[in-house]
Amino acid sequence: MASVLLQNSSSIPLTHWVAGAAIEGTSGRVSQVTNPATGEVTGQLPLASAEESARVIEAAKAAFPAWRDSSLAKRTRVLFRFRELLDARASELAEIITSEHGKVLSDAAGEVARGQEVVEFACGIAHLIKGSMTENASTNVDVSSIRQPLGVCAIIAPFNFPAMVPMWFFPLAIAAGNTVVLKPSERVPTAALWMARLWKEAGLPDGVFNVLNGDKIAVDALLTNPDVKSVSFVGSTPIARYVYETATASGKRVQALGGAKNHMVVLPDADLDLAADQAINAGFGSAGERCMAISALVAVGSIADALVEKISARGAALRTGDGRRRCQMGPLVSKAALERVTRYIDAGEAAGATLVLDGRKGEFDADGDGFFVGPTLFDNVSPDMSIYTDEIFGPVLSVLRVDTYEQAVELINSNPYGNGTAIFTNDGGVARKFQNEVEVGMIGINVPVPVPMAYYSFGGWKNSLFGDTHAHGVEGVHFFTRGKVVTTRWVDPAERAEGSGINLGFPQNT
């Protein structure tokens, strides 16, 4: 039986979560939360004022000293308990994600599972942050290193992964001894509030994990408040750049992951059925609302016609509708997203690309006025078209035709984004050459969505990342801690009486 602390999504109040309790908003400003499969408004979310934001940050600051000084054993026990509770109730969280984001239940369950990997990685925090020690580095002098938490850490999460993306960050931040203020997307707030209740049941002290709901006012408070020591952000490139510039100007550590235009190269020797299947999975999974989605397929040589035919047949057979039903693809997250994606399809058609599958048309398995666009496939796309240059963030796959492998690599490397890419080939030598030459942060070889495991780090290059540190893995541990080096000398009692002597020269190791 589920704990009394956890409720279904319709009964979890849309509030802030501060110091272990649900706190009603007082600003008087709200935004609507909708079910994107039906268009139904399901709740009113309070949007924090600057004053409310400051109070949430203050609660996290007040909780920091005691949590920082808690033993690693106590922190780890809380992490393990959170992991066990999440394992037992993952389906509850998946249902919440589907109800507010729209992705199908199997996709939502996969999101939770990938986030859980970081929780499991963080359970090893005692090993991950242990320091080192060198005895007698100089005569009677020992040197050691330690890693310590930062303080209050802000997480600004996107709408497309309301559970997984926050879990890229907060397990490591909390395990390392920091406190957290999570600002979820206004469109999908309930997952964050559900996880806050789970943390409380796991025994996390009040104030260590807080949820601040809001818009730009709340974001700016997190970016500029001097008590916030780090900011982790995932979202579009223009906002990522703003977050990075604003927060670093306020002296904070920042990891700001931005947008993407991910390419999938298919060489003539590739298994075309495998490539077609994976193009469908990577292009249309979660209705294309993934920063790792494949949106540009680069067909090399004479295979293009056959490959487009295979993708078209598979795409036309997909069932789009309410994610709670037996569908393979759900809606877009909002009416605004629907209108934006539709405009791009219009623009691609007007620019002369061949529209093979038109997602604006068709029947959708849903009730009400959901925000649906079906699988859309363009062929003969050129690099100057907006459907190629812009991140559409929808189920629109563009096929570009090139003659050679070299032209494919040049196309990728000249793109301003560098998040993820993939190559499909049966030639190991070419694959090795590709991973060496391509200027992208995450690479898949016959793997279309190369999201690394939690013990590696996630992040792209170029305009897909602002800041030097990627998410989770060892880089994530380092981001949420800072190092100290301690040099120690204890004088032997027999030498103490003689004194060490005066020497104004620069200290040397002897």
Residues labelled as active-site residues: 291
Please tell me the distance from the alpha carbon of residue 53 to that of residue 309, in angstroms, as a whole number. Answer: 53
The helix (run of H) or strand (run of E) holding residue 418 is: strand 417-418
Q: What SS3 state is found at 432?
A: helix
Q: Among candidates 63, 78, 71, 22, which has minimal Cα distance to 45? A: 22
**Residues 301, 303, 304: CA angle, nearest 5 degrees:** 90
Q: Are 153 and 232 in contact (CB under 8 A)?
A: yes
Which residue type, as a one-letter code, is found at position 245?
E
Sorted by sequence, the CB contacts under 8 Å of residue 357 that are 6+ apart come out as: 312, 315, 316, 374, 375, 376, 377
The beta-strand segments (E) located in 301-409 are 354-357, 376-379, 396-402
- CA 63 centroid distance within chain: 26
Q: Among candidates 279, 324, 320, 327, which has minimal Cα distance to 299? A: 279
Pairing of strands 132-138, 141-149: antiparallel
Q: Among candidates 298, 287, 396, 281, which has minimal Cα distance to 343? A: 396
The torsion of the CA quartet 308, 311, 314, 319, rounded to 10 degrees, works out to -110
Sign of CA dihedral 105, 30, 170, 470: positive
> Which burial class, exposed, middle or buried, applies to 317 when counting CB atoms under 10 A from its CB (0-12, 13-18, 19+)?
exposed
Which residue type, as a one-letter code, is found at position 207?
G
Please tell me the distance from the alpha carbon of residue 440 to that of residue 408, in angstroms, as a whole number. Answer: 13
Q: Among candidates 163, 160, 183, 33, which has minimal Cα distance to 109? A: 163
